Amino acid sequence: MLGDPIAHSLSPVLHRAGYAELGLDWTYDAHRVPAGGLAAFLSGLDDSWRGLSLTMPLKREALDLVDRLTDRARTAGAVNTLLLDADGERVGDNTDLPGAVAAIRERTSLPLASAAILGGGATATSVGLALVDLGVTSVELLVRDEARAGETVAALRAHPSGVDVRVGPLAVAEPLAADVVVSTIPADAQTGDLVARCADVPVVFEALYDPWPTPLAASATDRVLVGGLDLLVHQAVLQFELFTGRPAPLGAMRAAGAQALAGRSTA
C-alpha cells in the first residue's frame, strides 16, 4: 500500500486477513510514498512483487507510469491498483469504482437519481461514476476550490449516459436536495451547519473510515449509511482477486477490518 499519509490505512489488515484465511504465504505492507515519489519506488521493485494498492496522492500520478490502463481506470482518471505482470508490464486498474457500486447495493436497493458529492478529488470521481452507473442522472459537486475539481467534472461529464453535472461552493447555506450525499472531505471539515444541510438526504455515503464515525455518519442514525469500511472492503476484495487469482474471503477481510477499527476507537 503506497500513499501519504499512510499510517492510518487498514488495507494491510484486510489483505493479510485474506492471505491467512486462504493459507497464502504472501506479504502486504504499507509504504509512505509522497507526491512525486512513485516512479522512484517502482524502479526499485524486483520480480517478487505482484501488485500495489495506491491511495492519495498517487492515484492520478500513476496514470503516466503504467504501460496499459483498464477501461475503468481510464474512465475514472485514477489508478488505485497497479498490477505487475510476470513479463514486466505495468497495468493500471481502478477497483474503487466497482467497489463503490458493490458497497452501495449491499446497503440499499433504493432508486437513486440525484447525488450531492462533497469534495472533488479522485474518490469523488470514482464514487460519482459508480452512482451514475447505478442510475444517477444529476450530480452536484460541492467543493472548496472549483478550479481543483476540473478533472472530476470532466470525468463525470464524459460518462456516456450524459449526466448533468453542476459545481458549487461547499459553504452554501441551502439544505441539500438529493437522493444520496457522498462525503469525501475530512471529518474536521464536516461542520455542524454542513451536517444539518444534509439532514433530509435519505442515503449517506461516508467515504472515510478513520476517524469513525465522522460527524456526517453519526447524524445518519435513521437513514441508510454506506461507510468507508464498506467501500474499502469491497475494493480490497477486487484487488485481492486481481493480485492472487483466487476468490477473496470477504467475510474474513471485513471482520478483520471491523476489529481493527474497534481497537482504534477504544485506544
- CATH code of residue 245: 3.40.50.10860
Both 244 and 175 in one domain: the answer is no
pLDDT tens digits, residue range 97-122? 999 999 999 999 999 999 999 999 88
Give the domain extent around 217: 97-226
DSSP state of 186: -
For the cut 60, the answer to whether the pLDDT of residue 267 exceeds it is: no
Both 220 and 205 in one domain: the answer is yes
Give residue 24's pLDDT.
98
The mean per-residue pLDDT over the stretch 1-30 comes to 96
Give residue 98's pLDDT.
96
Q: What is the DSSP string of 63-109?
A: GGS-SEE-HHHHHHT--SEEEE-TTS-EEEE--HHHHHHHHHHHH--
Q: How many domains does the chain have?
A: 2
Both 67 and 152 in one domain: the answer is no
pLDDT tens digits, residue range 38-63? 999 999 999 999 999 999 899 999 99
For the cut 60, the answer to whether the pLDDT of residue 212 exceeds it is: yes
For the cut 70, the answer to whether the pLDDT of residue 139 exceeds it is: yes
Give residue 265's pLDDT.
72
For the cut 80, the answer to whether the pLDDT of residue 266 exceeds it is: no
43, three cell numbers:
524502479
Catalytic residue list: 59
Both 123 and 200 in one domain: the answer is yes
Both 236 and 209 in one domain: the answer is no
- CATH number, domain containing residue 215: 3.40.50.720
Both 173 and 76 in one domain: the answer is no
Both 103 and 209 in one domain: the answer is yes
Both 113 and 36 in one domain: the answer is no
Both 158 and 115 in one domain: the answer is yes
**What single letter denotes the amino acid at residue 116?**
A
